[in-house]
Amino acid sequence: MKKLPIVFLFLLPIFGFSQAEIDWKKNAMVFTPEILLGITAPSNFGFPDTDLQKQLILGFGRDHSNNPQEWAYRLKRPKTGLSFGYTDFGNMDSLGVALTVLPYIEFKGFGMDNFTVVAGMGASYFSEKYHPENNPNNKAVTTTLTWAFRLFFKYRIFSSEKIDWRAGVGFAHHSNGHTRLPNQGYNSMVFGVSADIKNYVKDASVEAGDVSYTGENFYENSVYEYYSFRGGLGKNAFAIAFNDKKDVYTIAGEYGRVYNKTYKVGIGFYYRFYQHYYDYIQRNESLVQDGREFENYGSAPFWYATNFGISVQGEILLNQVGMEFQVGYNLHKPAYKIDWRINEGWDNTPREIPESWMLGEYDFKFKRKYRIATRLGLKYYLIGTEKLPENNFYVSANINANWGQADFSELSLGYIHNFEIRKRK
């Protein structure tokens, strides 16, 4: 976890999204080469000049038109798979290239057969990164390995029996999840063309148990309740002057409902302990010394280094894989004020901060990030959710943020208890 983004744990199982062992798989593969051009947005003041960004992506996926599982039916027969990408950011000396591995899902958008949305989350390797002496103007990434995100919109312009030709436009992002600073990240807008080379027959019927599947009104609406608990271990950096990775410990729980074995919503709580915050207070660093703003924090370092709050979460279940998103409200996160003061004032705040140093102000931007916590990630369940096991376990990889700014990367282990399913009108 110290060297690899934890999302790598998911690359192998997500490729097939753990489908049932049935014959529909044999004729469901899709190979998708893509050529993309775009613009690399400057990540910081003085960012190196760039030419046109160029990407080559090879996708290996599966079309779920004939998949009899309920999640495929509810999601209107999506495609899932794994893509491998090469990106030239337009400046080989300072920005280099990125090699990306990205699990993805593609589904119909706005009710149109010709229009699809592609979303993916994975990891990237960078050949060049920030260095204070050798590459000081590129503050986009400071680590060789980063998280990678992709959101793309595609429109089918021509179709034949074996190939769908499509044009598209989208957004790509790379960052290290706040494991080392600076971490401004790469943001890019790209457009291009792709070809879906097919090995499937969309209208073929399959057998699901003793029932012939036709794709229309096959499943009745259903609902069941659940509760779950998880423990997590995260990593983050604190500031330029405290740039080593330290642990973030998490305990969390939630209660909610699952609709049609696919859509999961719940409410919950979370408790976190930040080692960086604790060490800063315990060691009586600059801003907690006598006479400074946070001098009272030294009376209870553990308490001031903790964070707890309430949350609302949603998840899309793809049998053994889940894609989750959480929005939380921090009831208690006092040490984030130290974090903000140090990181949002003048650049390169030193360890010993002079009283004349310009620190971050408590403006609206601060209030939003101080209170709103977001969480995005992937889960892998021990038992497929289609089977509705009473007890199940999962491992998850997540990036946690203060509003939209990365806070820490996390690996979690969780337990979930499901109640009996019932029909829903």
Q: CA geometry: angle at 244 spanning 239 and 247, to 5°?
A: 100
Has residue 114 got a pLDDT over 60? yes
User: Which range has the worst mean pLDDT, 6-10, 36-40, 370-374, 393-397?
Assistant: 6-10
Q: What is the pLDDT of residues 337-361, one digit of tens each?
A: 999 999 999 989 999 999 999 999 9
Q: Which residue segments constitute the domains of the chain, with CATH numbers given?
A: 6-200 (2.40.160.20), 222-423 (2.40.160.20)
| Backbone dihedral angles phi then psi of residue 176, each to the nearest 5 degrees | -95, 10
Has residue 189 got a pLDDT over 90? yes
Has residue 278 got a pLDDT over 90? yes
pTM over 0.75: yes
Has residue 2 got a pLDDT over 50? no
Q: Residue 103 belongs to what H/E stretch? A: strand 97-109
User: Which range has the worst mean pLDDT, 4-13, 90-99, 125-134, 316-325?
Assistant: 4-13
3-state class percentages of the chain: helix first, strand second, coil last, to nearest 5 = 15, 50, 35
Residue 276 · residue 249 · CB < 8 Å:
no
Q: CA geometry: angle at 189 spanning 376 and 29, to 5°?
A: 65
Question: What pLDDT shows up at residue 10?
Answer: 53
Longest CA pairwise span in the chain (Å): 77
CA-closest candidate to residue 53, choices 40, 35, 41, 34: 40
| Other CB atoms within 10 Å distance of the CB of residue 315 | 21
Residue 58 · residue 47 · CB < 8 Å:
no
Question: What pLDDT shows up at residue 11?
Answer: 55
Has residue 376 got a pLDDT over 90? yes
When pLDDT is averaged across residues 49-60 and rounded to a whole number, the result is 97
Question: What pLDDT shows up at residue 42?
Answer: 95
pLDDT band at 373 (very low <50, low <70, confident <90, very high): very high
